[in-house]
Amino acid sequence: MLSLTGISRRYPGNIPVTALDGVNLTVEDGDFVSIVGSSGSGKSTLMHILGCLDRPDQGEYLLDGCSVSRASPAMRAQLRRDHIGFVFQDFQLIEGCTALENVELPLVFRGIPPQERRRMAMRALDAVGLSERMHHRPSELSGGQQQRVSIARACAGNPSLILADEPTGNLDEANTDAIMALLESLHREGHTLILITHDADVAARAGRRLRLENGRLISL
């Protein structure tokens, strides 16, 4: 599915920071990988590179056979759109849009016709148990419900790879459990899942566990 070889990312500036330092990682189709690490260890930087939102300074990143390291911004946008669903700690839903419109949005960018994308979005919201809330706006939903909307948005287009950066970081224990159950069911359906977390209990649910330490990736 993907491989990183010698990936480094340095943020220049008055005090340059090496956020990733020679990261190697191979993820197979259908894997469920968790990555833990303290604050500042490079987790989000790695997530941005995996998600084709950022480019490494060094190293090779292959995603489904395509070289992301050498891809143009337009190519990276296309890879992202067609292959990847994102789940963020702070949900990143658009407040002016209903739950249904939020889930539909990535499908708009894929050029899927309106009726078809509505059907896909409704099915995704149904799968996370939110059919009854689909016309609500994010501010009218609890944190746990907002994260379920964002999971529906991540998987509505059936991406092969789901990247979740601290998806339970803003949730209480009961909601953490519900969100993890949903992510695990996506994994069982065949999605490849990479989960970044602070929470050791959440990380332990993955088939493969890794830790980032000062920009270096270690197997656990």
Give residues in contact with ligand ADP (CB under 6 A): 11, 13, 17, 19, 37, 39-45
89 binds Mg ion (CB under 5 A): no
Nearer CB in complex with ligand ADP: 42/138: 42
- What stretch of H or E contains 186? helix 173-188
- Distance, in Å, from the CA atom of 197 to the CA atom of 119, rounded to the nearest integer, reads 32
Locus of tokens 């990276």:
76
Nearer CB in complex with Mg ion: 145/197: 197
Q: Which does 192 bind (CB under 5 to 8 A by kind): ligand ADP, Mg ion, none?
A: none
Q: Which residues contact 134 (CB under 8 A, 6 or more apart)?
A: 98, 99, 100, 122, 125
Structure tokens at 54: 């950022």
Among 34, 41, 44, 146, binds Mg ion (CB under 5 A): 44
Q: Which does 69 bind (CB under 5 to 8 A by kind): ligand ADP, Mg ion, none?
A: none
Q: Which does 159 bind (CB under 5 to 8 A by kind): Mg ion, ligand ADP, none?
A: none
Nearest to 17 by CA among 68, 48, 57, 71: 57
Amino acid at site 93: L
Nearest to 67 by CA among 55, 171, 139, 181: 55
CB of 38 to Mg ion, least distance (A): 10
- Distance, in Å, from the CA atom of 191 to the CA atom of 200, rounded to the nearest integer, reads 22
Nearer CB in complex with Mg ion: 11/109: 11
171-192 as b/e: b if 16+ CB within 10 A: beeebbebbbebbeebbeeebb
Give how many residues touch Mg ion by CB under 5 A. 2
CB of 57 to ligand ADP, least distance (A): 13
Q: Which does 181 bind (CB under 5 to 8 A by kind): Mg ion, ligand ADP, none?
A: none
CB of 41 to ligand ADP, least distance (A): 4
Q: Which does 37 bind (CB under 5 to 8 A by kind): Mg ion, ligand ADP, none?
A: ligand ADP
CB of 47 to Mg ion, least distance (A): 7
Which residues here bind Mg ion, judged by CB under 5 A? Answer: 43-44
